[in-house]
Amino acid sequence: MILVRHGQSEFNVVFSVTRRDPGIRDPRLTPEGRRQAEAAAAALAGHGIERLIASPYSRALETAEIVARRLDIAITVEPLVGERAAFACDVGTPRGDLKARWPHLAFDHLAEEWWPTLEESEDRLSARCAAFRAHMRTQPDWARVAVVSHWGFIRGLTGLTVQNGAVLRIDPHRLEAEAEILLAQAAAPPR
């Protein structure tokens, strides 16, 4: 399966400079984040992706929209691939507001407040990543699935810390296998 880290968010812009939580809840993509999502979508073209799974956070959904449009595939919203709860950006948007913003996506399987209310421990993150990996091993189409997720979740699955917009492939059957980086992006310099 292919993992995509969402494009740069409003949170990422501030945090990357200050290393402090700017208190932005469920931030949206920046123009640079949208550019990174477009580049990720272009990198996915030709990989036979037929299914797209996305975290319910706005930055992941916005990234997934760009990818889905380019690949002409539907988005499945899956909270299991959400970010490790640790900052204000990990406070999500209520289900009703998500449904209003993305009426074409299914959110009925989410609670109204679906995000974790406490910081997620590394052990809980590892368990969640293991559960997702186990689920993907049962999916016959796992090699044709792309997952739009986050820094912490991707780190939990692969051990790698990747930049916004990164695209990497993993085999959920091989725990020891290294991820193959398909696209590594750096933020464009400020203008």
Is the pLDDT at 191 greater than 50, yes or no?
no
R_g of the chain, CA atoms, integer Å: 15
Total number of domains in the chain: 1
Q: What percent of the chain has pLDDT over 70?
A: 97
- CATH for 43: 3.40.50.1240
User: Does some domain include residue 189?
Assistant: no
pLDDT at 190: 45
What span, in angstroms and rounded, lies between the C-alpha atoms of 146 and 149? 10
User: Does some domain include residue 145?
Assistant: yes
What span, in angstroms and rounded, lies between the C-alpha atoms of 90 and 142? 27
- What is the average pLDDT across 7-11? 96
φ, ψ dihedrals at 180, nearest 5°:
-100, 120
Tokens 């792309």 belong to 146
User: Does some domain include residue 62?
Assistant: yes
User: Does some domain include residue 87?
Assistant: yes
Domain that holds residue 78: 2-183
Q: In which band, very low, low, confident or very high, does the pLDDT at 137 lie, cut at 50, 70 and 90? A: very high
Distance of CA 96 to the CA centre of its chain: 21
What pLDDT, in 10s, does the model give residues 72-85?
Answer: 999 999 999 999 99
Characterize the bridge pairing of strands 167-169 and 51-54.
unpaired
What span, in angstroms and rounded, lies between the C-alpha atoms of 86 and 71? 32
Distance of CA 60 to the CA centre of its chain: 5
Q: What percent of the chain has pLDDT over 90?
A: 89
pLDDT at 178: 84
Average pLDDT, the chain: 94
Structure tokens at 56: 């319910």
User: Does some domain include residue 190?
Assistant: no
- Model-level pTM greater than 0.75? yes
DSSP-derived secondary structure letter, 180: E
What pLDDT, in 10s, does the model give residues 24-58?
Answer: 999 999 999 999 999 999 999 999 999 999 999 99
What pLDDT, in 10s, does the model give residues 85-122?
Answer: 999 999 999 999 999 999 999 999 999 999 998 899 99
- Helix (H) / strand (E) element for 174: namely none
Is the pLDDT at 176 greater than 90, yes or no?
no
Instruction: From residue 152, give the alpha-carbon distance in Å to each of 18, 39, 100, 101, 138.
Output: 19, 21, 27, 25, 23
- What is the average pLDDT across 136-163? 96
Give residue 76's identity as a one-letter amino acid code.
T
- What is the average pLDDT across 64-68? 98
